Structure 1
Amino acid sequence: MVLNGHSTGGLTAALWAHRHPGVLSGLALTSPWLETWGGHPTRTLGRPVIRTLARVSPRMELPTGTISPSDVFYVADGWNDERDGALPDPSWAQDPYATGWDLNPAWVLRPWAPVRPGWLLAVLDGQARVAQGLDIDCPVLLMASARSRVSLGWTPQARHADTIIDAQAAARNSVRLGNLVTITRFAGGVHDLTLSEPPVRERVFSTLGRWLMSYALHTAHPNH
């Protein structure tokens, strides 16, 4: 069994794999949220405040900035000629990258999911645990964008970078997950790498396939 986790789910999957040795043949993480922006200093300063809020009202909604919901950029919506200009490659015209992805609206909270102290504290505590080092006993694949840029709104760079997490910090912290970690970075990748432009997606799935064949599917688990 190979477990895949993305973003916050990547952090959750890593912690789960650490707590359940001998279960997985591989762990594939795409843009896992292994570290917050600002790294250790931000976590050290922020956790006491969030812990206090979580103790008082764990489900309260925290303010998330001043950006208008109408200005939030969703790469899954597809290409906008007026804003984005001409497609870099006309052959992409019928690709979901251009036409938009068919997502279940019930599973997509817009403009974003509420940020609550109890949830955020769990994330910060999980990231602190990763920073201390985990002992995942199966091969781990870390896939992340080659660039990060904090931006909820549209910018030309938002089409080619991770605008949600610090991908460099995720790659740096991934070496603390276990003894066999493969790190891959993708130029032009967005936060959800599988929603990137077609050539990037092709490299992502090709990398995943090669890793599965080399490590997860052809390597006997030490505890099996």
Structure 2
Amino acid sequence: MTATVQKIEYRPDILGTGYECTDLEFPDDYEGKVIATLVRKKAKKQTSKAVLYIHGFIDYFFQTEMAEKFNEQGFDFYGLDLRKYGRSHLSHQQFYNVRHLSEYDAEISKALDIIGSEKQDSVLLCGHSTGGLITTLYAAHHPYHPLIKALWANSPFYDFNKTTIEKKLGIPNLSLLGKFLPNLKFPSGLNRWYTSSLHISLHGEWNFNLEWKKERYPYAHLSFVRAIYEAQKEIHKGVYMSVPTLVMHSHRTTNPKNWGVDAQSSDIILDVKDIEKYALKMSGNIQLCSIENGVHDLVLSALPVREKVYTELFKWLNLKMA
């Protein structure tokens, strides 16, 4: 059973008509006051099915097309901006600062409690990239949760996109250093063209807040490296998923040095071979789906590509959450 929650007061969200949001409050952490933000978009007809979506690193929820696709399929949609991201970032906080991914369990659990209190009894938990890693571990750590009926991982961050030597030596040593010097910055290695390939003012078709989803993020804190590495070690050993799980990824990875077609037709953030490798190590009802010409966030791919994403996703969901 879900926990008893007080009546939630929503306010209009920045995304416009039909979108509402509410702040979730938590005890102070190592930076002080902490909140997360739950965004809601209700389906036109009353339903007992819902989606809880978790964004990726340097990200927040803005994918209205995805929310409305779920609404059309009879799901109420909930997007969660994690602490220190997007709507939830407070002026005294470093963006995206985290020391262990379990910090996010509090807002996921509270969001699920709210969803349950709003008469939903079947939830698709889903996450993109770092959110895919977070939601995979949340589902694995909460087997047979009364609400979670399936998991959709969109290009989950199951491994660093690094060379073998960097993975075996560099990342573990950076992680260890991050235990003692969490605020030390290290080159992120993120491809410079990713956000440029998406934003309407640059080369893409999507409008989002460039302060919350930055065009460039050249340095990451070692605390983030450590948090991801510790979580990935569990994935690499193999986890049991008690709910049907769909892992989606692009059909290829590239690392363009200059602007070109690859930036809008491949994953330029993660190595899709790593995603597939570690998804196959998970046990349970696991299905993989490769999307031709998909970008890192598959629902932001070119129109024909994302139509394929939704076709495959809802075909799977109709079987697993009928």
Question: Do they fold alike, i.e. is TM over 0.5?
Answer: yes
What does residue range 129-140 of structure 1 map to in structure 2 within 5 Å?
A: 129-140=234-245
**RMSD of aligned alpha carbons:** 2.5
Matched, 1:120 2:244: no
Matched, 1:185 2:290: yes
Q: Report the 3-state secondary structure (helix = DSSP H, G, I; strand = E; otherwise coil) of the residue aligned with 2:153.
A: strand
Deviation per CA, 1:39-77: give whole Å up to 9, x if none: 76543312442133213310122134698x7x7752212
Structure with the higher fraction of residues in helix conformation = 1
Kept after mapping to 2: 8 A contact 1:160/1:188? yes
Alpha carbons 1:151, 1:158 under 8 Å: kept: yes
Deviation at 1:128, TM superposition (A): 1.5
Residue 35 of structure 1 corresponds to 159
Alignment check: 8 A CA contact 1:151 1:164 kept: no
Segments of structure 1 that go 5 or more residues without pairing to the other structure are 85-96, 219-224
Q: Which has the higher contact order (CA 8 A, sep 6+)?
A: 1
* Contact 1:43 1:124 (C-alpha < 8 Å) held by counterparts: no
TM-score under structure 1 length normalisation: 0.79
Match of 2:181 in 1: 57
Ranges of 4+ aligned residues in structure 1 off by more than 4 Å: 38-41
Determine the C-alpha separation between the residues in 1 that align with 2:190 and 2:254. 18
Paired with 2:318 and 2:243, the residues of 1 have a C-alpha distance of: 14
Aligned position for 2:279: 174
Higher mean alpha-carbon deviation, 43-52 vs 123-132, is at 43-52
Q: What amino acid does structure 2 have at the position aligned with 1:7?
A: S
> TM-score, normalised to structure 2's length?
0.56
Give the Å deviation of 1:114. 4.0
Counterpart Cα distance in 1 of 2:154 and 2:234: 19
Q: Is the 8 A contact 2:253 2:272 kept in 1?
A: yes
Aligned residues: 198
C-alpha distance in 2, partners of 1:32/1:196? 16
**2:144–2:242 Cα contact (<8 Å) kept:** yes
| Aligned residue type for 1:5 | G
Instruction: Give the strand-richer structure, 1 or 2.
Output: 2
SS at match of 2:186: coil
Gaps of 5+ in 2: 1-122
CA–CA distance in structure 1, aligned partners of residues 313 and 158 of structure 2 = 20
